[in-house]
Each structure stands twice: as C-alpha cells, then as structure tokens.
Structure 1
C-alpha cells in the first residue's frame, strides 16, 4: 500500500548476487522492501553501466523509461525511510544508500546535459515567447497549470522550438522534483545557477549593460551620455520583458517543488545584473541638470514607469526587494530631476538678458527656442502629468483669467499640466513684451510683437500644444496678432495716409494739389526706406499686412491722382510732383517685409521711367 511493487525492466534482470535468499520468516513488508530495492537496482545499474547505448535517459520523444527511473528513485527513498524506522544499521539501508548516490550522480548528469544541449531552446527569449501563449495568466503560480496544459497540445499546433523548449522544461522539472524530494536539491541547484547566471550575464552584456558608478557618469560628455541613455532605454525593455521575465518563468517552473529554492535561484541569477541595470538611471538623475537633458531624462522615466508593473511582479521575492527598491528610487529621482529642469527652464526664460534687437523685427531666437522646446515637451504630456501630479504650480501672481477658459472641461491631471504649459508660454510672451522696448521705432516694436506672437500661435496650432492650451487660447491670441498688426499699420503708415485729403476727389487748388503730392512723395519714401529692411517671416501675415496697407493707400491715391493730374497741365516741374503711378504703388509695397534692405527693379506703367527712379531705383513688375 505504501510503496507498490514495480516489475523489473524486461531489458535488464536485477542482480541477485548480493540479495540474501528470502527467509520463510520474512514478513510481507520486508518482501516488498526487497522488491523495491531490486527494481531500483535494475534501472540504476543499467544506466550506470558502460554498456548503455543511449547517451541520455531523456532522449527522443519516449520518456517511459525516464519515468520509470524517477519513480524507482522515489520508491527507493520511501524504502530507505521505512528501513530507518526499523533499523538504521541495516545492510539493506547501506545498499539502498549506495544506489541512491549512484542515481543522483546520473540525474545530475542528465540535468546538466539537458540544460547544456538545449541552451538555445531555453534562452529567456524562447521561454518568454513560448509563455506568450499563456499571456492571460494572472500570476506566476497560475502559469504552472497553464504550462502543464500546454505540454499536452499536439506537436502540430506549436513550432519545433516551442516543442523542444516545452519538453526540456518538463524534463528539468521532473528531475528537480525528484532530486528535491529525496534531499539532493542543492546538487541540481548548483548546476542550474551556474549555467543560467552565465546566460543572463551574457544577455546583459550583449544589450550593452555594464557596471558603472556615479563618478564615471558625471565625467562623461553629454554626447556620450546621451548615447548611453538611448541604448539603456532600448536595453531595459528587452532585459525586463525578455531576459528577466523568461528567467523567472523557467526558474518558477523547474523548481516549482520548492518556493525557497525558486527564490534563491532567481535572486542569485538575476540580482547582480538587475542592480547594474537599474543603477544607471539613478546615477543620471544625480548628474548636473540642464534643459538639454530634459528629454532623455523623460525617456528614462517613461521606460521605468511603463515597465514597473512587470518589474514589481517578476522581482516579487523578498530577496529581490532591493531590485524593486532600486527601480522605484530611480523613478523618484528622475521625476525630481525633471521638476528641477522644468523650473530651471522657466527661470532661464525670465532671466534672459540679451539686449540685442532682432534685425528687422523678426522672430527672436528665444521665441524659436522656447516654443520648439515646449512643443517637444508635449510629446511627454502624460508622463509630465504623472510627475507633476502632486506638485501644483506655485506662482506669485495668478494667471490672467482668459488663460484658463480652454481648461474648464479638462480633467484634473490634464488641467494641471496644461496650466504649466500655459504658464511657460505666458512667461515667454511677457519677456517678449520687454524686448519690444529695445526698438526705438514704435511701428517696428509692434511688428516685432506681431511676428513673435504669430510664431507662438502657429507653433501651438500645429503641435500637441493645441490640445493642451485649447482652441479658445489659439483664437484669442490670433486676435492679439491682428491687434499688433493694426497698431503697426496705424503708427507706420499714418503719415502716408494723412498726406492725402480725407476726400481724394474733392476740388482743391493747384497749390494744395502740389503740396499733397510733395507730402505723399516724402512720407511714402520715408516709410519705404525704413521698412524695406523689416521682415515678416510668416507668409500669411506678410500678405495680410501688405494687403491692408495697399487696400487703404492705393485706391485713395488713384482717386486723387486721376482727379488732379490733368489740373497740373504742362506746368514746369509738374512731372517731378508725380513720382509714383498708382499702378506701380502695389509693386513697391510688394518688396516690403523680406528684410532685403535693397530696392528691387520694376518698370513703370507709363512709357517713360518714373521720376522716382532718382530716389528708389528703376523697377520692373
């Protein structure tokens, strides 16, 4: 009942030379003990013999004899326990012990051969890929049952690699279960740790993971460190999702018979490599902060944050808690570094002391830098929302009410990070207001503001900033651009507009006509000379400004010209009064806002050169 009687293998008859003949006084229990020893001896000695033709018990697809061997060992162990309970000095016990040691040496050899010969099928990538068929498993303990079921599927439904991998895992588990059950677990554990640690360390080496220290990281040029960060972000995904994950699956399966052995093996195999891996981002977070490091720091944070649930799961043992703590601490330090860099970036905008005015009132380098930087930051808006979730914006004065209109329907986290982006843009716009004062020409200062705000609005409209700041923000600031443009036109062209009578077709004296033409010539030339070097980079805004000036100036001038040109008659010097034909005025305006600083050449609509050529050069349309 306790042990069961097993028939000797037909391939080998047990040697009875050392077995004393049964005594008529032997009990039934003693007879069963002898039979169990004989059965174990027949199989153990067979596979310990030099005559055995097969190299492994676990060769081919037939595992029948391997199963018999393992069962014989377990029965032998039970027999030894019963013998001890009767007489520890029994000759049978000595004999059984010798057989057990022989069997253990054989199983150690089998265990090593399976691990070595199936190395390519038991690499973490193959194991983790194989386990993807059980992706719905909620825990590693549940994985055991799923894997057992998977071994039962037909070979047609899985690939050859998966089939070999599954068979090897099953064989290793069977041997480990047997050796652990008879008290020889440490022998197979030693083999397992040695081979698997070399595989994990080799995998990390090929991923570029190496042992580093803080001083090494701090001494690296940013270009070198940036390359290492990029490599680390790629490496950590493979290391966690494939290397450590696959190793945990294999370890849990092979040593499912003992939780303490599973923990010991996994901790020793992966602990050192995982420590090297997760130390790197913490060292980076401790380096000197600067805006240029923001995006790589966010990449590190994003990688760990995304992998954290899996990290927490596969390093769930108490002995691997240091790895979990290291990964979490790296996450916290990176978040702190991001907040510092963010604050430094804002401070750098506010403290910008450049006094040089941009030639022609164009887009300031600070505007381009800040808006491109902020637009790139929006790609990390979800990560930033997480980092700033418990760090509300603190400013001395509240933001203008109008800045929050587009955020009313946003959720809390989105609104929080949106407010920070709104604030950064507002800090920039306030700084640009100050830089507009560098221009002595008021019209140019308004053009500068229009150019820069137009750049800001375009960058918001054409990037993810639009989703954070909202359409209302865009609409309101587009209106501000129009106001700046209107102020530019009012200041820059008012003198030209006022040189013509309020009613261009009204009857006036020839002397008054002469005065009007002279004032127009002088004011237009002054405005043109000044503004030919001004620039409007945005094509749409440039066309709108030209059209606005042309629409107000050219029709009024044409009406005045057609009304009074005949009245000038053939008076001496009358041609010098009409320097610009109405048809040509648009051509002059078309030269503006390219920042050329030179006058082009267009032809007059009349057959003879315009008298203005003396001042502005000949022109052709």
Structure 2
C-alpha cells in the first residue's frame, strides 16, 4: 500500500510495499523503478552541529556484528516506546550513528556486487552478512516511514530508503540472471526432433490400409505410437543446479521480507513463463490460433496434433511437476505464494493447450479424423491425474473441469463421426456390381475401419457412456459402444444384401455374399477387441448364414447338372434307351462346360473358402457322374459318336472343378501349357 511522503527531504518518490496479492500473468503489477545499481549513494544530510568525522570513526571502530547489535537495540527501543503508548518515539529517541554505518556497509557490498568484484551466491558468509544488513535497513526504513513528517528522522529515512532501493535493485538483477540460466541452457540444447513428420506418416499409413486387401494382422497398429521428444533432452526440467536454487531462495526470501514481494514475483513469473515457452518451442510446439487451425489442410494439421500430444504428455509427466518443485524450492516458507505462482503459469499453458483441442473440434468432420480425436481425448484424460497431483484442490478443481470439458468435446466429435459412418454406409448405393463377386470395397473399408476403431475400445466405451449421460439417452444392458458397433454391422449386412441383388446370376449372388461374409468373419475372429464386442452369438449366426449361402449356391448351380446324371427316367418300354442316355450325357456336357467357363472367372479370394467350395462341389458332382458314367457308358461304346457324348472322364471333371473361383488364372495357365 503506497504511503504519502510528506518530508521534503525524502528523495524517493515511491515507497516499499508488502502486498500479499497474487501476481497474475494476465495483469502484472508494474514494478517500481530501482536506483541504478552502480550509482553511488547521495551524500546524506548532516546535522550542522555533528562532527563530520564521527560516523567514519564509528564505522572504523565497529565491525558489522557490532553495528547490527546496536541497530537491533535501537529497533527494540523504538518498538518498546510505541508499545508504551508513545505516539512519536522519534521525539525521545535519537537515530544512532550505527544506522549510517550500516547504510555505508550495505552500499559497499552493493558496489562490490555491482562492479563484479564479487557475485551473490559465491561466498555464503558474505551473502548472509549482506542479507542480515539489508533486513535491518528494511526494518529501519519501515519504522521511520511511519513518522516521515518528523524532522529528526527525515535524513535517516531518506538515507535508508535509498540504500534499500539499491540493494533490491542488486538482488533483482541477480535473481533475473539466475532465472535466465535455465532458458539459455534450453536454447543451447534445442532438439532437432521432428514430431510432425513422424506422426503424420503413421496416420497416413493407417488410413491407407482401410481399403487394402490385407488382413488386419499384417498392418502394424500405430496405436500408442505418438512421437515423443528424446527423453535425455528433458530428463531434468528445469535444469538449475542446487546451488542456483539455494541462491534464488535466499534472494526471494530477502526481497519478500523487505517488502518487495510484487517485484520478486514479477521477475520470477516473466522469466519462468519465457523459459517454459522456450522449452515447448524447442520440441517443436508453437501456439496456433483457431483461425489458423481452420485454414490449415488436414495433412499439415496432423503434424501439429502430434506435437500437441507430445507436449501435453510432457507437461503431465515432466514439465508441470518440475516447475512445481522449482517454485516450492525457491519460495519455500511461502506456500501460498508458491502455489499462486505455479498455478498461474501452468494454467496459462494448460488453457492454451485446451484452446488448440477446441480448435480441432471445430474442423470439418470426416471418418479418418476419428483416431486423431481419440488420441487427443486419451491425452487429455491422462492429463487430469497430473493436474490433481500438482495443484491444490481448490485451484485444481477449476482446471480439471476445463480439461474434462475439452476432453468431452473431443468425445462428442468421436461419437458424431461413428454415427456418420452409418450415413456413409446408407449412401453407398451404387448400381454397378463388383466384378466376379469378389469382396466389395465398402466391406474392406468398414471392417478395416472398425478393426482400428476397436483398438480404442476402452476409450470409446467411456466416450459413449459420457455421451449418453450428457444427452439423456436411455441406458441399455449392453455397452453403448457395443450397440453402436452392432448397428454398423447390421447396416453393412443390409447394404451387401442390396448389392447382391444387382447380380443377374443367382449363383454369383451367393458367391458375393459368401466372399463378403467370410471377409467379415475373418476380420472379427482376427481382432480380439471386435470379437469380444460382437460376441459368440453373433459369430454363430454369421456362420449359419454362410452355410446357408453355400447351400443356396450349390442348389442354384449344380442342381440341374445332377439331374442329368440321375439314373431315373432312362428306360423306354422296359429297356435302357440309348437316345435318352445320349441326351443325358450331352446335357451334362453342355451345362458343365457353361459352368466351368463362367465360374472359373469368378473370384473367391479366401483360400480356405475357395478350397471348401471346390471340395463340396466335387463331393456331390464327381460321385454322381462316376456312377452314371460307369453304368451307362457301355451303351455308347463302340459307336462312331461315343467320344462326342462321353466327353469327360471322372478325373477330368475333378481337374476342371479345381479351376473354379480362380479368376480364370488356372485355366489360362493350362491353355498355355
């Protein structure tokens, strides 16, 4: 609190103050102007009747400890007089010569520090002496300031105030220089790590695999592989030595005791804010505005997000805890002040990080952004315990609330993107069937997408539960994310059933359904997370559906073929008719040739399914043909047209069946050979 200086001889236009208010980054208190450190003290006002050599004589005769003892007796006497009801102790007490001696001693020390003849922190005994002397000067100045209108104390007040100003200026500079050491070390050790390139390339690899033909097991998941700065760069943050911290503690304690708390906190806050910013810059993080985020292409933004994730994790694991320890060490004995300084710094950083997350939420939504949103969601979720451990409960509660709010907004975007996947499946209503009945691109995309999505199963469970609570959606016995997954799978089934009807050949329709159904089953079985969510009941039903498609294919394709080699209806008037036998062989040859020509171009990419189909066809066709051929070929043997009707041996049929569902590759090779 500023006081009016009434004494005309008091040259200092600003007094000391000892405000205990917190120093906020956003509204710093303007520090007072210090006297120049190297400036010599102005000549003190002297009493005309005083011997000009008396003070010098006292300074020569008394050492510092004796001076301090005399000053302490004066301070005690002054305090005792006030307690005894003396409204103006200066009327009864003279300011002793030891005050001037003390002032000269402090000035001498200041000049020694200011001219680099010594450095604060190098000699512990000298530092302690300086601190003890400055504390006495501060007490004298404070005491005399209460009676500034007294003509007897005006000269001493002016003298001690000026010396105190110079002492605080010296400590201010020493404090500032010590705090700058960490920032200089950080700049010297700047890392050349490039998190943007690493994160972006991994995300691109993940997205490109959605439409690939490979199974999920062949793609290395990038889950949990966000880039991290090299650990040795930030293993110790801040990088102050124990000696530097001890010296800063002495300076802070002295400045606060002398009533210069605001100036001390201002220097500390600005220096540590700049050092923290430098540490973040050195690992590639730069503050980006919401407008800049909206204008950036997604590919570039992925790199920024990767860096952001690294920064948040570093803050939660290293930077915040290191900053808190430093603040507690420098301001030990002033717990509330330490908490205030740390919280203001960390909150400013945290809010900046939260704002970036909010800016990402506002970008245009698309399916490929889901995984990035979930990575950011998990990062903020894991930040909350670090905030809880670093902050006092009353202060941390507000910041945790803001962190959870930013996290929940990311979660809502994730829910929205998964719901948009339903719309994407619905809108995929192309009228052109996939050639050869192979796996549809939509099936590959959705299943690969869900496979990677389920790697975030635990987080998505949490996201959907929070979403239901926020939006009042009634709960279910199953997990809400599981219900969402089942909904997507049902919609994919409906879409595939619609696409299967685009095939004119019913047999090819069932091949298409088998291909896609088998692909879906393999993806579900290959992912522990999807399998757990879909459940055994769903898998059994899917297997039943696949067997049904298989049976329908056999009926549609081979039913008429088997009728040709049926033993019934071959007799006319009680005898086997050669004409009927010829027609039966001819019909079999025609149908089989047509099926072989057509279905050898069809594709069944799953080798196990391909083998199962060939085995099942062979199991019904070859025995029936072998039986018919073995029993009735004799009626045509020896005739001129026997080879025309008996075109295939049973072994030929078996070899030709092995050509089916191979996309024409085997048939082409056989023709070449």
TM-score in same-fold range (> 0.5): yes
Match of residue 290, structure 1, among 362, 366, 377:
366
2:433 matches 1:371: no
> Structure 2 vs 1, CA of residues 17 and 27 (structure 1 numbering), >3 Å: closer, same or farther?
closer
The answer to whether the Cα contact below 8 Å between 2:110 and 2:170 also exists between their aligned partners in 1 is yes
Q: Bigger shift: 225-234 or 535-544? A: 225-234
For residues 523 and 113 of structure 1, what CA distance do their matches in structure 2 show? 95
- Show the counterpart of 2:407: 331
How much has 1:415 moved relative to structure 2? 2.8
CA-to-aligned-CA distance 1:368-393 (integer Å, 9 cap, x gap): 11111111110111111111104459
The answer to whether the Cα contact below 8 Å between 2:145 and 2:157 also exists between their aligned partners in 1 is yes
How much has 1:15 moved relative to structure 2? 7.5
For residues 371 and 250 of structure 1, what CA distance do their matches in structure 2 show? 50
CA-to-aligned-CA distance 1:64-117 (integer Å, 9 cap, x gap): 432343234334444556667899743655554444334323322332332234
Match of residue 537, structure 1, among 582, 605, 616:
605
For residues 178 and 554 of structure 2, what CA distance do their matches in structure 1 show? 85
> Structure 2 vs 1, CA of residues 233 and 601 (structure 1 numbering), >3 Å: closer, same or farther?
closer
The answer to whether the Cα contact below 8 Å between 1:315 and 1:324 also exists between their aligned partners in 2 is no
The answer to whether the Cα contact below 8 Å between 2:327 and 2:342 also exists between their aligned partners in 1 is yes
For residues 270 and 397 of structure 2, what CA distance do their matches in structure 1 show? 22
- Show the counterpart of 1:48: 110
For residues 535 and 217 of structure 1, what CA distance do their matches in structure 2 show? 46
The answer to whether the Cα contact below 8 Å between 2:183 and 2:278 also exists between their aligned partners in 1 is no
> Structure 2 vs 1, CA of residues 47 and 413 (structure 1 numbering), >3 Å: closer, same or farther?
farther
Match of residue 423, structure 2, among 338, 347, 350:
347
2:548 matches 1:483: yes
For residues 218 and 322 of structure 1, what CA distance do their matches in structure 2 show? 28
- Show the counterpart of 1:556: 624
Alignment of 1:146-295 (within 5 A): 165-258=241-334, 261-262=337-338, 265-266=341-342, 269=345, 273-295=349-371
Q: TM-score, normalised by structure 2?
A: 0.70
- Show the counterpart of 1:496: 561
- Show the counterpart of 1:135: none
- Show the counterpart of 1:29: 73
Structure 2 gap ranges (5+): 1-53, 63-69, 78-95, 191-234
* SS of corresponding position for 1:388: helix
For residues 546 and 312 of structure 1, what CA distance do their matches in structure 2 show? 63
- Show the counterpart of 2:642: 574
Structure 1 gap ranges (5+): 1-13, 127-158, 399-410, 603-617
> Structure 2 vs 1, CA of residues 572 and 19 (structure 1 numbering), >3 Å: closer, same or farther?
closer
For residues 597 and 239 of structure 1, what CA distance do their matches in structure 2 show? 58
The answer to whether the Cα contact below 8 Å between 2:412 and 2:467 also exists between their aligned partners in 1 is no
Provide the aligned C-alpha RMSD in A.
4.0
For residues 147 and 261 of structure 2, what CA distance do their matches in structure 1 show? 26
The answer to whether the Cα contact below 8 Å between 2:238 and 2:326 also exists between their aligned partners in 1 is no
- Show the counterpart of 1:443: 507
2:490 matches 1:429: no
CA-to-aligned-CA distance 1:528-581 (integer Å, 9 cap, x gap): 222122111111000000000012211232233233334423111011111111
The answer to whether the Cα contact below 8 Å between 2:309 and 2:379 also exists between their aligned partners in 1 is yes
- Show the counterpart of 2:384: 308
- Show the counterpart of 2:521: 457
Structure number with the bigger relative contact order (C-alpha 8 A, sep ≥ 6) is: 2
- Show the counterpart of 2:6: none
> Structure 2 vs 1, CA of residues 15 and 238 (structure 1 numbering), >3 Å: closer, same or farther?
farther
The answer to whether the Cα contact below 8 Å between 1:209 and 1:276 also exists between their aligned partners in 2 is no
For residues 413 and 168 of structure 1, what CA distance do their matches in structure 2 show? 60
Work out the number of aligned pairs and report it.
Answer: 538
Q: TM-score, normalised by structure 1?
A: 0.75
- Show the counterpart of 2:170: 106
The answer to whether the Cα contact below 8 Å between 1:39 and 1:72 also exists between their aligned partners in 2 is no
CA-to-aligned-CA distance 1:475-501 (integer Å, 9 cap, x gap): 332232122112111211111122112
The answer to whether the Cα contact below 8 Å between 1:271 and 1:320 also exists between their aligned partners in 2 is no
